[in-house]
Amino acid sequence: MVSGTPRIRSRSPVAGLERARLSFVQVLGQSVSAVAPSAVMVTLPALVIPDAGRATIAVFVAAAILMTAVGYCIGQFATRMVAVSGLYSYIVKGLGAVPGFGGGWSLLVGYAAAAMASTLGAASYLAALLGRVGLPAGSPLIAVLAAIVGLLALLLMVRGVQLSARIMLAIEVFAIVAASAALVVAFVQSVREGATPSAGGAKSGSAVGFALLLAITSFVGFESAGTVAREARNPFVAVPRAIRWTPIALGVLYVFAAALQLPEPVRQGVDSLPIVLTLPDTSGAGSSTLSIVMELGISASWFACVLGSTTALSRTLFAMGREGVVPNVFGRTHHRFHTPHVALTAAMPVVVAVPVFYLFVSGSSRDVLIGLLAVSAHGYVLAYVLLCVATPAFLRRIGELTRLPVIVGVLTATAMVALVGWAAFSRTYVAGAATAVYLFLMLVGAAVFAIRARRSPGIEERMGVYDEAVAEDLLVRYRPWEVRR
């Protein structure tokens, strides 16, 4: 080696995960499945409309614009780094170790809460389906189904990222078509019965703020494509493209779904789970069949969201394990399937147990779903704010700063901070409880970081790992720095 020349590693910091296994479509499937758009289409508008009223469509448009701006900022990193933990490593590279850990831990909270809500959603819709054949609906049945959902998801994710990506994508395509068809039928039927195709006014200004925060939860997870960057072919092209286009496509779907749910009769039955859009018998002979197909599709979509959210969660834990920020055992991969099986196996029991316990305490699936989604939103929002601030800082550090990233990053971060303050004035009890739970979990994270930093000096220098070219790459097949178009 010539003196002063950087040494080429013999082993990547994230070795163990497979390289170049996922096509662009499968990377896109990771982004889309972590959001569960079809499930969101029939649940979130129904939850937002009571607070936002006629402003619901504007709320979803505003949320789509904000998330597109966040996607632009993420793209600045994704075109320059192959990071298996996505936003966590990006924030570390932009703002340093301590803010980076705060963002990463916040993302862990967001991914975990989203996976918990999805597990409960899948179990609740499956319970509704089984109720059609006479099985008694209730918390015990939902608890059993949640355990089955968790076990099946765990087996698929340990088996391999390519298999789970294919299943996630197929499920989402089917579920979006089924949900769209059911929404159109329900809307047409409500208009025929003379319903006014519009909701009333908003409850209050602060209620609209909370509704906007809820609407943002219908986009979160789109950034998770960054967590499978090492496993993607052409990661510098596939990952930014998936992150850039997903919020735009989701925005179109959500505005479409919200517009169809503005009439009151379409939203009947949302006071308690199952939040199922039950079509009236007068819709025709095929209404029951269409309802069943839609319920099956939404169940599958929630299941895909469990896969997507837990995949992102496990990759972030894996990266932290490799760095020593959490116990090193989380950084192990399966010798045959090349997946972070320890992180997956540790996370999934928690993902199942927490919503089930919450369900038995509250007795309302709807309250559990809203509470978990609100906690999840807090986790994502802080990470997004830090990411937007980190973008110009990172570009400046590498000497590639231009005016546009500064404008987009600063404006987006400011808008999201203002949104959180606006929502805080909401008198909705769930908003306050979710904030308290989130703050407690962040304090737990601070304690974990303090303990690990004390036991392992120099940990800050190891944080923010990403896939790097190794000596073998220079001589054989794979060149992660090479962009192919």
Check pLDDT > 50 for residue 43. Answer: yes
Looking up residue 169, the CATH number of its domain turns out to be 1.20.1740.10
Pick from 5-9, 28-32, 219-223 the range whose average pLDDT is largest: 219-223
- For residue 17, being part of any structural domain is answered with no
- For residue 192, being part of any structural domain is answered with yes
Domain housing 112: 24-454
Residue found under tokens 């790992």: 465
CA distance 314 to 320: 10
Average pLDDT over residues 340-358: 95
Check pLDDT > 90 for residue 171. Answer: no
- For residue 463, being part of any structural domain is answered with no
Alpha-carbon distances, residue 47 vs 35, 262, 442, 470 (angstroms) = 16, 11, 27, 50
Average pLDDT over residues 195-223: 74
CA distance 323 to 101: 11
The count of structural domains within the chain is 1
- For residue 289, being part of any structural domain is answered with yes
Confidence category of residue 211, pLDDT binned at 50, 70, 90: confident
> For the purposes of burial, counting CB atoms within 10 Å of the CB of 361, is it exposed (0-12), middle (13-18) or buried (19 or more)?
exposed
Residue type, 329: V
Q: To the nearest whole percent, how much of the chain has pLDDT over 90? A: 40
- For residue 308, being part of any structural domain is answered with yes
- Give the side-chain half-sphere CA count within 13 A for 245: 11
Pick from 200-209, 223-232, 249-258, 382-391 the range whose average pLDDT is largest: 382-391
- For residue 89, being part of any structural domain is answered with yes
So what's the pLDDT on residue 476? Answer: 62
Confidence category of residue 327, pLDDT binned at 50, 70, 90: very high
By mean pLDDT, which of 2-11, 81-90, 337-346, 460-469 is the weakest? Answer: 2-11
Check pLDDT > 70 for residue 283. Answer: no
CA distance 305 to 349: 16
Pick from 56-60, 143-147, 255-259 the range whose average pLDDT is largest: 143-147
- For residue 132, being part of any structural domain is answered with yes
Residue type, 348: M
Residue found under tokens 């979803």: 60
Average pLDDT over residues 367-380: 86
**Residue 427 CB partners (closer than 8 Å, separation 6+):** 206
Check pLDDT > 90 for residue 259. Answer: no
**Residue 384 CB partners (closer than 8 Å, separation 6+):** 70, 87, 412, 416
Average pLDDT over residues 194-198: 62
CA distance 280 to 269: 11
- For residue 258, being part of any structural domain is answered with yes
Check pLDDT > 80 for residue 134. Answer: no
* Model confidence, pTM: 0.87
So what's the pLDDT on residue 18? Answer: 84
Extract the tokens encoding 448: 């974990």
So what's the pLDDT on residue 297? Answer: 79
